[in-house]
Amino acid sequence: MSTYRTEGVILRRSDFGEANLLLHIYTRKFGKVEAVGKSARKAKGKLKGHLEPFLYADFVLVHGKKMDTVANSFVLDPFLCLRSSFDPILAASVIAEIADRMTVEGYHDERVFELLLSSLAFLNQETGAEKRNLWLLILFFEVNFLALSGFAPQADKCVFCSEKMAPGKNYFSFALGGVLDAQCAAKIPDAIFVDDDAIKLLRFLAIDSGTTDYKKAIGEKLVCLRKLNIKNEALFRSVLLMKNFIEFNIDRKINSLDTFLNFAREKI
Ligand SMILES: [Zn+2]
């Protein structure tokens, strides 16, 4: 049996059989991997506590005929601060669920791994006091994850006529995947109104697709995130817009995002 080793982040875990866990891990070298953690739910199992959700670890995995298994997990960062308060946990659940729902086993893009890891590290530095940073981080993750998955929301030019967008009455179409001026919106059945600040925010958060050092670009954007001056209402509307856009594209709900919206809306 061949083994392989890679850093990874646990996106999802569920009970599997009597004492096992089924894990979805996004790894640096192999992209999304599904693997079984044998006896991981036994009190004395050696993997006990090493396969927590959002955990960043160095994994040793074994190829199996039907399924791969986790032979070992060396924790690199348990993101303990993140786990100590409710809102950052919810925000981490949102990004993990989006990453899990929008990727299939074997889907590999190292930039996705960097985006995930940096986003979790950002949440780990949040005490939970500044709720809007959690909202901004979710939006930042959504916009850039969509772009890496080939669903970048077009926010600079009209998605119908390709003219540069001007401030004013503008719209968004889920079916066409971007913004529309009022004239074009009249021809598109699913066009909904979107305010200028929301469009500006989407544009600002997007990392340039042509960037050569993606990790550095993420770091620079995240530094700006905490200083960003944006109205809460525009932020809320942008998060809702991207939620609906993602759900339109994957044709299913992102459950943790509903929970986040219910719990966190009053707090920003
Ligand atoms: Zn147009």
Taking the C-alpha atoms of residue 171 and residue 31, their distance in angstroms, rounded to an integer, is 35
86 and 66 inside one domain = no
Q: Residue 233 falls within a domain, yes or no?
A: yes
Task: Calculate how far, in angstroms, residue 149's C-alpha sits from the geometric centre of ligand 1.
Answer: 25
Task: Examine the pLDDT at 265 and tell me if it is beyond 80.
Answer: no
Cα–ligand 1 centroid distance for 189 (angstroms)? 14
Domain boundary residue, one of 77, 107, 137:
77
Whether 125 and 236 share a structural domain: yes
Tokens 């190829």 label which residue? 63
pTM of the entire predicted model:
0.94
Mean pLDDT of 179-195: 95
The larger pLDDT score, comparing residue 200 to residue 129, is at: 200
Q: Report the range of poorest mean pLDDT among 11-20, 137-146, 224-233.
A: 224-233
Q: How confident is the model at residue 127 (pLDDT cuts 50, 70, 90)?
A: confident
If you measure from the C-alpha of residue 162 to the centroid of ligand 1, how many angstroms do you get, rounded to a whole number?
A: 6
Strand 170-173, strand 178-181: pairing: antiparallel
| Residue with the larger pLDDT of the pair 209 and 241 | 241
* 199 within domain boundaries: no
Two structure tokens written together for 99 = 């990453």
Tell me what the mean pLDDT of segment 89-96 comes to: 95
Query: What is the per-residue pLDDT for 194?
Result: 94
- Surface-to-core class of residue 215, CB atoms within 10 Å of its CB (0-12 exposed, 13-18 middle, 19+ buried): middle
Q: Which residues are close to ligand 1, an ion, with C-beta < 5 A? A: 158, 160-161, 181, 184
> What does the CA dihedral 112, 117, 121, 124 come to, rounded to 10 degrees?
100
Measured distance CA(132)–CA(128) in Å, rounded:
9
Residue 195 belongs to some domain of the structure: no
**Within a domain: 56:** yes
Instruction: Indicate the DSSP class of residue 267.
Output: G
Among 45, 77, 109, the domain boundary falls at 77
Q: Do you know the residue count of the chain?
A: 268
CA of residue 203 to ligand 1 center, whole Å: 17
- 87 and 72 together in one domain: no
- How many structural domains are present in the chain? 2
How many whole angstroms from 209 Cα to the centroid of ligand 1? 23
Is residue 182 assigned to a domain?
Answer: no
Whether 13 and 144 share a structural domain:
no
Same-domain status, 66 and 32: yes
Is 214 a member of any domain?
yes
- Give the pLDDT of residue 109: 95
Q: What is the pLDDT of residues 22-44, one digit of tens each?
A: 999 999 999 999 999 999 998 88
Rounded Cα–Cα distance for residues 31 and 34 (Å):
10
Are residue 88 and residue 65 in the same domain, yes or no? no
The Cα–Cα gap between 239 and 229 comes to 16
Q: Same domain, yes or no, for 67 and 104?
A: no
The DSSP letter of residue 153 is: P
Closest CA to 116 of 190, 7, 209: 7
pLDDT of 266 strictly over 80: no
Q: What is the pLDDT of residue 131?
A: 84
Rounded to the nearest angstrom, the distance between the alpha carbon of 186 and the centre of ligand 1 is 10
Average pLDDT over residues 99-125: 95
Residue 171 CA to ligand 1 centre (angstroms): 10
Q: Note whether 147 and 206 are within 8 A (CB).
A: yes
Task: Decide if 70 contacts 23 (C-beta within 8 A).
Answer: yes
Residue 111 shares a structural domain with residue 242: yes
Cβ(102)–Cβ(250) below 8 Å: yes
Average pLDDT over residues 94-120: 95
Cβ burial of 52 (10 Å; 0-12, 13-18, 19+) is middle
The parent domain of residue 62 ranges over 3-77
Ligand 1 center from residue 160 Cα (angstroms): 5
| pLDDT, position 48 | 86
**How does pLDDT run across 56-85, given as a tens digit for each residue?**
999 999 999 999 999 999 999 999 998 888
Q: Are residues 228 and 142 in the same domain?
A: yes
Q: Could you tell me the CATH number of the domain that includes residue 73?
A: 2.40.50.140
* Ligand 1 centroid distance, CA of 164 (Å): 8
**In this structure, are 40 and 134 located in the same domain?**
no
Report whether pLDDT(8) > 90.
yes
253 alpha carbon to ligand 1 midpoint, in Å?
A: 30
The answer to whether residues 210 and 116 belong to one domain is yes
Beta bridge partners of 170: 181, 194
% pLDDT > 90, the chain: 80
**Ligand 1 center to 163 CA (angstroms):** 6
**Six-digit token string for 122:** 């950002």
Upper half-sphere CA count for residue 159 (Cβ side, 13 Å): 22
Q: What is the pLDDT of residue 128?
A: 67
Question: Does 139 reside within a domain?
Answer: yes
Using CA atoms, how far residue 13 sits from 36, 102, 197, 221, in Å, is: 9, 16, 37, 30
* 168, part of any domain: no
For residues 42 and 144, membership in a common domain is answered with no
- Average pLDDT in the chain: 93
Domain boundary residue among 77, 109, 138?
A: 77
Q: How far is the CA of 159 from the centre of ligand 1 (A)?
A: 7
